[in-house]
Amino acid sequence: MLRILSLFILIGIFQRVEAQTSTLALADSLFTIGQYDEALNLYQKQKPKSVGIYEKMANSYRALGNLNAAIKAYKQAIRINPDLVVAKINYAKLLKVNRNYKKADSVFTDLIKQYPNQANFYYELALIRKVSKAKPYHKLLLQSIEINPNHFNSLYELALFYYKYKNFKEADININKALRIIPKNTKGLLLAGLNAYALQNTKRAIVLFESLIESGYQTEQVYEKLGVCYIRHKQNQKAIDCFKKLIELDDKNATAHIYLGRLYNIEESYTLAEKHLLYALLLSKPDLSSLYQSLGITYKQQRNYKEAMRYFELAILENPDLVRSDFELANAADNYYADLDLRIKYYNIFIEKYKNKPDVQKWINLAKYRISDLKKEKHYKQTPGNKP
C-alpha cells in the first residue's frame, strides 16, 4: 500500500515538472517571436522562480521597455546567485541607461576586481564614467587596450576622447588602429575623416569621406567637409556636386549656398552665383522682428513704456503682421499716455487691422475688453459731480 502511495506521489511530481517544462518552452518560444507580454505572463506563473526565470523575466521587461522592472528582476537573480556574470553585466548596463551611474559604476568595478583581465569590463566602466562625468575615463580605455590591443570599441572611444580634446595626432594613431581591425566601420571612418580634416590631411579625408558616401552614409557634415576638401584641391566641379547634394538634404543650409555662389563665380556662371549668394544672404539675415519684440516685452516688464513702444514699432516695421507686437504696442500706449481717446485709438487701430483674421480673435477680444473699460473710465470722468 505504501509503495502504491509513493508511486502516485512520484507520478504527480513528474506531471507537475513536465507541465512546468512545457509552459517554460512555450514562454521561450513566445519570447523568440517577439510576443514579450505573453512570454512574461507565463514566466511570472512559474513557481518556484529560479535564477533562470528571473533572468528571462528581466529580458522580457527590457524588451518591453520597462527598465525599472527589468533592473529589479536582474537584482533578484543576482541575489540568488551572486556569481551570475552575464546578469551582472546586463544589470549594470540597464542601470546606466536608467542614469543610475553610481550603482552601475560599482557593479563593473566589482567585476573588474573579480576578472582583472577582461578588457570589455574596463571599456564598459569607461562608458559609464564618460556619461556620468564623475571621474576621468580614458585611462580605463588604455587599460582595456593593454589587455586586448584589438578591442575596436576601446580604440574608437580613445580616439574620440583625443579628438574631443584636439589631440589630433593621438586620435589619428588610435582610429587607424581601430580601422585596421574593422576597415569598413562607419563610425570609425567618420571619425578618421573628421580627424584627417582637422589635421589638414585633405587627401586622406577625401578618401575616407568618399568611402562613407559609397557605403550609403550621406550626411550634411560629410558633404560639407568633402566639398571643402575638393575646393582645396581645385576640384571645383566635384565640390559643386557635393554642395548641391548637401542642399538636397537641407535647402536652408546657408553655408552650402555661400560655397556654391563662390564656386559658380570661379566657373563664371554668374547667374547661378547670384541666385545662391542672394539666397544665402536671405537665410543668414537675423530675425530682427523677433529680437525687437523681445526687447519691447523686456522694457514693458520694467514699466519703461516709452522704450517698449519704440521697439514694438521697430518689430512691426520688420514684420507688419507680427500680431503680438501690434497688441503689445497698444497695451504699452495704454500704460504710457494719459489721454483716454489716444489710448482707445491704439486698440481700435489693432482691431481694424486684424478684424478679418479668425486666428487673432483672442487678441481682438482683449482689445475690445480694454476699450470697454477705457470708455467707462471716460464716461465716469465726464459725469457731473465726479472728480477727475
**pLDDT at residue 3 tops 70:** no
Helix 36-45 × helix 51-64 angle, to 10°: 150
- CA separation for the pair 298, 195 (Å, rounded): 44
Q: What is the band of 304 on the pLDDT scale with cuts at 50, 70, 90?
A: very high
Q: In terms of residues, how long is the chain?
A: 388
**pLDDT at residue 17 tops 50:** no
Of 118 and 56, the structure prediction assigns the larger pLDDT to 118
| Mean pLDDT of all residues in 112-139 | 92
Q: What is the band of 21 on the pLDDT scale with cuts at 50, 70, 90?
A: low
Quote the pTM value: 0.68
Structural domains present in the chain: 288-380 (1.25.40.10)
Residues in Cβ contact with 200 at an 8 Å cutoff, skipping those fewer than 6 apart: none
- CA separation for the pair 25, 18 (Å, rounded): 11
Q: 66-86, pLDDT tens digit by residue?
A: 889 888 988 888 888 888 888
Phi, psi dihedral angles at 62 (to 5 degrees): -65, -45
Q: Which of these, 100, 161, 102, 101, lies nearest to 136 by C-alpha position?
A: 161
pLDDT reported for residue 38: 81
pLDDT reported for residue 20: 53
pLDDT reported for residue 48: 76
**pLDDT at residue 55 tops 90:** no
| Mean pLDDT of all residues in 202-223 | 95
pLDDT reported for residue 5: 41
Share of the chain above pLDDT 70, in %: 92
Q: 239-261, pLDDT tens digit by residue?
A: 999 999 999 999 999 999 999 99
Q: Picking from 27-31, 220-224, 338-342, which range would have the lowest pLDDT averaged per residue?
A: 27-31
Place of cell 537665410: 283
Of 259 and 4, the structure prediction assigns the larger pLDDT to 259
- CA separation for the pair 130, 133 (Å, rounded): 5
Q: What is the band of 14 on the pLDDT scale with cuts at 50, 70, 90?
A: very low
Grouping H, G, I as helix, E, B as strand and the rest as coil, residue 285 is: coil
Q: What is the band of 382 on the pLDDT scale with cuts at 50, 70, 90?
A: confident
Q: Nearest 5 degrees, angle CA 374-CA 376-CA 381?
A: 95
Of 48 and 324, the structure prediction assigns the larger pLDDT to 324
The letter for the amino acid at 252 is: K
Q: Which of these, 223, 156, 158, 151, lies nearest to 187 by C-alpha position?
A: 156
**pLDDT at residue 274 tops 80:** yes
For residues 189 and 210, the answer to whether their CB atoms sit within 8 Å is no
What secondary structure does DSSP assign to 81-111, as a single string?
-TT-HHHHHHHHHHHHHTT-HHHHHHHHHHH
Q: What is the band of 9 on the pLDDT scale with cuts at 50, 70, 90?
A: very low
Residues in Cβ contact with 177 at an 8 Å cutoff, skipping those fewer than 6 apart: 149, 155
- As a whole number, the mean pLDDT across the chain is 87
pLDDT reported for residue 10: 34
pLDDT reported for residue 54: 79
Q: 160-186, pLDDT tens digit by residue?
A: 999 999 999 999 999 999 999 999 999
Q: Picking from 14-18, 129-133, 307-311, 365-369, which range would have the lowest pLDDT averaged per residue?
A: 14-18
